[in-house]
Structures are given as C-alpha cells and as structure tokens.
Amino acid sequence: MEQAPHVDPGGEGSAGGKTRSHPWLARIVGVAALGAVVVAALHLADLGRLVALLRGAQPAWLLLALALQLLTYTTEVGVWRSVLSRAQDIPGLSWSSTRWPS
C-alpha cells in the first residue's frame, strides 16, 4: 500500500512560508468582510420591528426549536464519530499522521 506524500505546510509558496505570492488577497478579503458588516448593520437597523416580533414570540415554540437544533448537532457528532473511527484504518486519515506546523 502506497503512503500519501507529506506536504510541508511551511514550505515556499504556501501561506505559512516566507514568500507571499498574492499580497492583495488579504486586502480583498478585508474589504469584503467590511462590506458584509455594513450590509448586516443596515439590515439590523430596523430594530423596532425585531423587538415587536420578539414580543409576539411564543417561548414554548422557541424552546422546541432550540431542543431540535441541539438534537441535530448531537446526531451529527455521532455520525462523524462513526465515520472517523472507521477511517483509522485508512493511511493519511488519522490524527497521529498529521504534522502540525511548529
């Protein structure tokens, strides 16, 4: 069985290396994040409507929705635990084979 090649996370040309091939990428991401914050602030500006909506909410339904959402996450954890426990037999998919940057 052939092992997967090791990729050096701190090598040249990677994000962890000393060279940066796209210095403008950080600026684009920053501008996009700022734009997202502005859009979110404009949508949340109508706080009066939100307060009115929350006053009319029924707590029992909100608690049921919260319980169902927590059940969803619990089920998802179980599924991933099962998948990852079976993946221990596959080379390259275990925590022990992972090399973290220092």
Amino acid 25: pLDDT = 86
- What's the half-sphere exposure (Cβ side, CA atoms, 13 Å) at 90? 7
Q: What is the per-residue pLDDT across 5-47, written as a single tens digit (0 to 9) for each?
A: 555 555 554 455 455 567 788 889 999 999 998 888 877 777 7
Residue 2 has pLDDT above 60, yes or no: no
Say which residue, 101 or 72, is predicted with more confidence.
72
- Give the residue-averaged pLDDT of 58-63: 92
Amino acid 73: pLDDT = 95
Asked if 3 and 99 count as a contact pair (C-beta separation under 8 A), the reply is: no
